[in-house]
Structures are given as structure tokens and as C-alpha cells.
């Protein structure tokens, strides 16, 4: 009985996820700071990379429920600087859709490599990125101690180092 009920719920979620549209933020829409600040506590840093990158937003009907920002680091490499899903929509596969969309957009734009960075304490994000094909590339030791004023804790772990992950999109 529980199995049947769960199948019903996941079918509804699949139908709901089919109704999600991801598209570039249009010029008449303001940057969704409330969503972006879920992923990065620094308003100053968010505003800086949004300006030099492309912001994509996910809509369910008229409701903006997710965002990601793709910022070129060089001609070859692009980074997902921010990805966030509205709290009431988290855990329903939208994050995965956004990351997959970012990978496709980077590929379509001709980039060789896509990167993403996250904290050593961001266990959920490390799982999500690896499920989307990212491999660990390097560790930026003490990044969060050097660049953020307040100490950050997640999952009972202090966030100190940035784990950098990447996917090679095109063979040389
Ligand atoms: N604990 C551990 N892993 C979890 C989890 C949890 N509570 N919830 C989801 N996951 C993992 C699962 O591995 C899941 O894979 P599965 O579908 O194979 O089970 C995977 O994450 C994808 O989950 P999804 O539902 O697509 O993620 P989401 O829609 O919640 O979006 C975030 C993920 C990180 C974007 C979202 O939680 C968020 O906005 N968080 C706040 C902002 C943030 O931290 N951004 C990233 C900064 S580096």
C-alpha cells in the first residue's frame, strides 16, 4: 500500500518536473537575490559574478523556483558560480535539472571544461555534482577562511576548504 502511494507521489513529482522551464533571465527581470543568497552569503560577491556571467532561471508556471549563474573563467573554461532552488522545492530533482541544463548550455557555447566549487562541508552538493558527472579536480585550502568574514558550519563540519570539481566537455 505504501509502495503504491509512493509511486503515486513520485508520478506527480515527475509530472510537476515536466512543467519546469529553464531559460535565461530576461532583461526586464530583476536578479533573484533571495535565491542566489541561499547558495552564497555574500551579496557583494553574488552581484560581481552575476554581472560578468549569464543567469538562468527555472519557472514552475509563474513561480521562479531556481537559478544558476554561468560565468566564463577563460575562453575554454566556464564555472557554475551559483545554483539554488527555492526551499519549498528542494529535494525534488530541480537542482539536478539545473546542473544538467548548465552542462548543456556550456557545451552548446563551445567551452572545453565546466567547473564548480563547493565547501568541504557541503555533503549534499558534493553528491549532486558527482551524480551529474563532475569529478574532483583540486582543493583550494582555507578558501572560506580567507574570503568570508563569518565562520560557516554545515552538517556539523566547519566549511574551510573549497573542493573544485570539473567535467571535460570536449576532447582536444
Ligand atoms: N542529503 C543528501 N543528499 C541529498 C539530499 C539530502 N538531504 N537531498 C538531495 N540530495 C542529493 C541526492 O543525491 C539527489 O540525488 P538523487 O535524485 O539521485 O537522490 C541529488 O542531491 C539531487 O537532488 P535535487 O532534488 O535535484 O536537489 P535540489 O533540487 O534540492 O537542489 C541544491 C540542490 C543544492 C541546489 C539545493 O538544495 C539548494 O538550493 N541549496 C541551497 C543553496 C546551495 O547550497 N547551493 C549550492 C552552493 S555550492
Mutate to test the pocket of ligand 1, among 124, 131, 133, 140 (most ligand atoms within 8 A of CB): 124
What's the pLDDT tens digit per position in 111-128? 999 999 999 999 999 999
pLDDT at 10 exceeding the cut of 80 = no
What's the pLDDT tens digit per position in 20-74? 999 999 988 899 999 999 999 889 999 999 999 999 999 999 999 999 999 999 9
Cα-based torsion angle of the residue sequence 114, 27, 24, 73 in order, rounded to the nearest 10 degrees: 0
Measured in degrees and rounded to the nearest 5, phi and psi for residue 55 equal: -105, 130
- Whether residue 152 contacts residue 121, with contact meaning beta carbons closer than 8 Å, is answered with yes
pTM over 0.85: yes
What residue owns the CA closest to ligand 1's atom 24?
93
List pocket residues of ligand 1, CB cut-off 6 Å: 38-39, 83-85, 90-96, 118, 122, 124-125, 127-128, 131
pLDDT at 3 exceeding the cut of 80 = no
Which candidate, 86, 85, 50, 90, places its Cα nearest to that of 69? 50
Amino acid at each position: 500500500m505504501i509502495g503504491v502511494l509512493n509511486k503515486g507521489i513520485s508520478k506527480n513529482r515527475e509530472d510537476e518536473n515536466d512543467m519546469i522551464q529553464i531559460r535565461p533571465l530576461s532583461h526586464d527581470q530583476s536578479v533573484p537575490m533571495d535565491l542566489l543568497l541561499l547558495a552564497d552569503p555574500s551579496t557583494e560577491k553574488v552581484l560581481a559574478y552575476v554581472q560578468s556571467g549569464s543567469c538562468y532561471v527555472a519557472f514552475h508556471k509563474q513561480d521562479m523556483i531556481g537559478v544558476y549563474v554561468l560565468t566564463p573563467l577563460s575562453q575554454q573554461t566556464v564555472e557554475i558560480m551559483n545554483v539554488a532552488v527555492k526551499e519549498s522545492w528542494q529535494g525534488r530533482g530541480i537542482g539536478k535539472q539545473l546542473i544538467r541544463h548548465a552542462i548543456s548550455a556550456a557545451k552548446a557555447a563551445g567551452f572545453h571544461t565546466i567547473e564548480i566549487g563547493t565547501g568541504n562541508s557541503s555533503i549534499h552538493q558534493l553528491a549532486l555534482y558527482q551524480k551529474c558527472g563532475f569529478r574532483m579536480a583540486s582543493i583550494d585550502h582555507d578558501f572560506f577562511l580567507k574570503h568570508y568574514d563569518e565562520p560557516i558550519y554545515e552538517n556539523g563540519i566547519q566549511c574551510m576548504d573549497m573542493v573544485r570539481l570539473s567535467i571535460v566537455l570536449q576532447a582536444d
